[in-house]
Structure 1
Amino acid sequence: MDWKLRFLGVGNASAVELGSACAVVERGSSPLLMIDCGQEAMTAYLEAYGEPPGAVFITHVHLDHVAGMERLFVDAFFDESRRGRIRLYVPVTVLPHLQARVADYPGVLAEGGANFWDAFQLVPVRSGFWHERHWFEVFPVRHHQPETAWGLRLPGSFVYTGDTRPIPEVLAYYADAGEFIAHDCALHGNPSHSGIDDLEREYSPELLARLALYHYASADEARVLRERGHRVLEPGEGVVLPPPRDPRAPLPS
């Protein structure tokens, strides 16, 4: 069965033309799991797949990653076939921030009678979660305060860092099976995000060769990153993935 990671958006919070950073795990050409749901992500998802997602993983709660959640609530709540069935995987340390930023708005419906979570099947996660018989691992990254932002791994297949500074010690553990790595990177770093100088300084040539960059600021930045020899992702691009490792199979000796 074919596996892909489809990038619906690859830009930072200001790069509207590049779309909110968002990816979808595809299995056999069908969407399996949406990663983040920013302000443009729902439009891109519906254009790509024709219906709302059945499952979403949230990396953190900056609005370019969760601003689409209100729209997803409306789509789910008013469709009885979806209400309460969209799986929402949220790291337990992120959940209070998501509650405060999105779910606590007084009166999610003007007429009352509804809670934000009524639209979803909430699954709090810590080290990982099962979805459609596949085990996804979750790991903390370096973005603002500790444990407020998380990355995602499908063992043997891919690693998605979410927003982060360089994390060489984390990737040494969570990308140890040759996985494709989608990594936050712009031309210039800051206290919340990686710049290309940071990655070239912190990561080995072998690791850099597996990286594909997203969350950059503009098409011009992408061109410069490519001129430096790096792979840069484009909106709508689908990356063919290695098939995931069976989590029940013994590890190679």
Structure 2
Amino acid sequence: MAGWALRLHGVGNASAVELGSAMASIERGGAPWLTIDCGAEGLTAFEALYGRAPEAIFLTHVHLDHVAGFERLFVSSYFDPRRRGRVRLYVPAPIVPLLHRRVGEYPNVLAEGGANFWDAFQLIPVGEAFWHEGLRLEAFPVRHHWPDTAFGLRLRGSLVWSGDTRPIPEMLARYADDGELIAHDCALHGNPSHTGLDDLEREYPESLRRRMLLYHYASQADASALAARGHAVARPGEVRPLAEPTAMRPA
């Protein structure tokens, strides 16, 4: 089996349209294995690259730059008999109601009636861990706006995706202890919901920062400033190799 990789479909914050909404896919053998989030620009980049829509998505939180592609995803899934009800959505259980209110509650999702929004998908609420295609992944809460509204993802031994967050050294001590690449939210300047460069350098030891790939920044100029301080910065369309997962497999 060919190797694992992380492909960045978009790396920007909600205002950085030219960088694409923050969204990525874990690839296995050059094909998308699990996609993280579903923003509008990110979904466009995904479809342009792979020639189809995602088949499995993990959702970090429900801000619109991370879920704005869901209406389009509904249409492409519901009207394709091969995909209807088979597109897996792994959603941390505390945000399922938030997701429904954000994207699923519009009355009469089709003008003709007869369809519910979730008919197009296989909605899988997840707790601390879930199984996807024979591997166990972990989900963990992060610090973004309000408790239990945003989550990170770990594929043990390969990848930790922070999602939108303030620094979370206590979480990374637990969920990034096996040499994983750490894709971390970082802008040039922080705020009460997002990590800034000074926050990153203050809260994390150098040994952890060396494994970080920074995304969710505001502009190309900010990316250059982050890189000038010696940090690895994600770029739209970039592919980063991942180590073979050490995640638990079925007995």
Q: What TM-score does the superposition give when structure 2 sets the normalisation length? A: 0.98
Listed one character per residue, the Cα deviations across residues 86-141 of structure 1 (whole Å, up to 9, x for unaligned) are 00100000100000010001111111100000000110001111111111110000
**1:48 Cα deviation after fit:** 1.1
Corresponding residue for 1:196?
197
Is residue 2:67 matched to residue 1:66?
A: yes
Q: Secondary structure at the match of 1:94?
A: helix
Supply the AA of the counterpart residue of 2:126.
V
Listed one character per residue, the Cα deviations across residues 44-77 of structure 1 (whole Å, up to 9, x for unaligned) are 0111111111101110000000000010000000
Is residue 2:45 matched to residue 1:38?
A: no
8 Å Cα contact 2:40-2:65 kept in structure 1: yes
Q: Percent identity?
A: 64
Is residue 2:4 matched to residue 1:12?
A: no
Corresponding residue for 1:51?
52
**1:156 Cα deviation after fit:** 0.5
| Rounded Cα–Cα distance in structure 2 between residues aligned with 1:105 and 1:113 | 13
Cα RMSD, aligned residues only: 1.1
| Rounded Cα–Cα distance in structure 2 between residues aligned with 1:52 and 1:248 | 27
Unaligned 5+ residue runs, structure 1? none
How many residue pairs get aligned? The number is: 250
Q: What TM-score does the superposition give when structure 1 sets the normalisation length? A: 0.97
8 Å Cα contact 2:155-2:247 kept in structure 1: no
Q: Secondary structure at the match of 1:65?
A: helix
Supply the AA of the counterpart residue of 1:183.
H
**1:248 Cα deviation after fit:** 4.4
Corresponding residue for 1:158?
159
| Rounded Cα–Cα distance in structure 2 between residues aligned with 1:248 and 1:151 | 20
How does 1:88-107 map onto structure 2 within 5 Å? Answer: 88-107=89-108
8 Å Cα contact 2:37-2:66 kept in structure 1: yes
How does 1:139-178 map onto structure 2 within 5 Å? Answer: 139-178=140-179
Supply the AA of the counterpart residue of 1:143.
H
| Rounded Cα–Cα distance in structure 2 between residues aligned with 1:216 and 1:41 | 15
Corresponding residue for 2:84?
83
115 and 127 in structure 1: CA distance in 2 versus 1, 3 angstrom threshold = same
Q: Secondary structure at the match of 2:45?
A: helix
| Rounded Cα–Cα distance in structure 2 between residues aligned with 1:241 and 1:248 | 18
Corresponding residue for 1:119?
120
Runs of 4+ residues over 3 Å off in structure 1:
none
Unaligned 5+ residue runs, structure 2? none
**1:151 Cα deviation after fit:** 0.3
Q: Secondary structure at the match of 2:35?
A: strand
**1:178 Cα deviation after fit:** 0.7
Is residue 2:239 matched to residue 1:231?
A: no
Supply the AA of the counterpart residue of 1:109.
L
| Rounded Cα–Cα distance in structure 2 between residues aligned with 1:46 and 1:249 | 32
